[in-house]
Structure 1
């Protein structure tokens, strides 16, 4: 009996010593060697002193953007005194001011197409501010496609595109032609203006549809986009346009200092009028000194390797950029 008690005591002591040992090892493993903590702190202070007055510190600052009292769209004043309106604009301006990769690309791409879009809008008596719809619909990507199969700069559905005079088939999709798609969008915008009588409602209807906006205004017995309760996407839509306008008009104000040379440019073109079927667009491209890739880059509305011409004619753009005309030398040797 005494022997058993002795064995139990010995085992208890061994277990206790083992627990103490394991705890001590854990403390030793995690604790830094003597002097490391002090040295690390000294190094941090030294680095801070060294970096003072230099531009070596990474700029990870988030922009806080003051909300203005009022904005304008297409010459119409938008007062932001109401808390709901201020917060809706505040959300979109901060999203875009701090979503750096997306906004940088928006600014760079806009430089390629904004002037031409403005020309088409002006020719069709549509306010210039509508070019900012392209920024939020497609981010100036000619080949943009939504989950609803809306396509191109203006994100037109196939039925809407055909309704406003665009050709969409297996060989041609003019929704991807920035100029022709803008012409079609102008027709829609004028139809919407005839219905609503103000450009803000016209812009909102571009997202929810004319009948959709009209029905919600009637149901809630109001006559303004800013007074009607809408789904989240449409509720944000107008304020996304206003945020894009603010940044694209003055990108430096929001920290986007992108030199003109860093923005994407549009080359000069030769325009080839096509009145006969082209059996092979690869050969057609090579004949004009460019690759098929370059041909499709500036004519994204071409969907197939051939182009059938019946009673219509097409205009194909041929880049005159020497860097894209590199096949000319091969063809002339």
Structure 2
């Protein structure tokens, strides 16, 4: 498909013309011919090359192996919307691809170990864009876990330490949560919807509407789009070239190798601790975002595992 390349070509041309306009303000006569030529080139690209194409939806669309009822025209309109939105929001899609290369190798084996379908890594993408964000409701981290849920499943959550920011531990909690509600709802599709709306919310809709399939439920806007959005993200990230994205191996983000250091005492200053390993506080926090304060109280003498980047991956701290 050429539509993404065409769009980028036109945007690039417009950028060049804009730059030329800025550059030649003081020399309009000298550069008039050059500027005219670039304008003509952009006009030609707009007239002949700029195309927005419909998306070909895969015929075997599914979530976690559970097929989508593609014979239903209303369902397919909803599918089409998510494919269009997520394909043509090119900058966001590219960022997700780049981040996925860095974080999926951490998430995938934890899902596999717990018997959770691999497709759920795309749920994390839909939830947070693979960033340690905080929602207005207080849901936190890659998996957008609420404080009470994190504590219920054994995460330490306080001002000093918040393990919802710990990718391995939060992924394990997400797996346990998902498996619990899969037993209750029976399908991974409803389980994913329950992750978004809450199990109580999904059960309420099911009771009122007297149906037991996600695709038969009339849901609110966000949850009604949720599973379709995950499937669109899955398809685009798994097959970028099919949707017009040209991404080389060197374009992806990669994880910096680390080694582990155990700490079972209080730490007065993480900045001083970082200096011992010839890094700075920012780099220490980058690899250990679950450390929430510049110090560690650790009155209980709990053992924490701190990740330290191998030497040579960051410039020397001044």
Cα separation, 2, equivalents of 1:287 and 1:308 = 19
Check conservation: 2:256, 2:313, Cα contact below 8 A. Answer: no
Counterpart mapping for 1:224-303 below 5 A: 224-303=213-292
2:8 maps to what in 1? Answer: none
1:140 maps to what in 2? Answer: 130
1:170 maps to what in 2? Answer: 159
Q: Aligned with 1:267: secondary structure? A: coil
Distance 1:198 1:274, change over 3 A: same
1:119 maps to what in 2? Answer: 109
Check conservation: 1:144, 1:153, Cα contact below 8 A. Answer: yes
Cα separation, 1, equivalents of 2:236 and 2:102 = 17
Alignment gaps of 5+ in structure 1 = 1-39
Q: Aligned-pair distance for 1:161?
A: 1.0
1:7 maps to what in 2? Answer: none
| Higher normalized contact order (CA 8 Å, seq sep 6+, divided by chain length) | 2
Q: Does 1:100 align with 2:97?
A: no
CA deviation string 1:7-41 (max 9, x = no partner): xxxxxxxxxxxxxxxxxxxxxxxxxxxxxxxxx9x
1:188 maps to what in 2? Answer: 177
299, 302, 326: which one aligns with 2:316: 326
Cα separation, 1, equivalents of 2:48 and 2:305 = 48
Cα separation, 1, equivalents of 2:236 and 2:39 = 39
Q: Aligned with 1:273: secondary structure? A: strand
Note the aligned Cα RMSD (angstroms).
2.5
Q: Aligned-pair distance for 1:50?
A: 12
Which has more radius of gyration?
A: 1
Cα separation, 2, equivalents of 1:166 and 1:60 = 50
Q: Aligned-pair distance for 1:67?
A: 2.3
**Structure 1 length as normaliser, TM-score?**
0.80
Cα separation, 2, equivalents of 1:156 and 1:287 = 33
Distance 1:277 1:95, change over 3 A: same
Check conservation: 1:132, 1:245, Cα contact below 8 A. Answer: yes
Q: Aligned-pair distance for 1:45?
A: 12
Check conservation: 1:268, 1:321, Cα contact below 8 A. Answer: no
Q: Aligned-pair distance for 1:70?
A: 3.6
Check conservation: 1:289, 1:325, Cα contact below 8 A. Answer: no
Alignment gaps of 5+ in structure 2 = 1-32
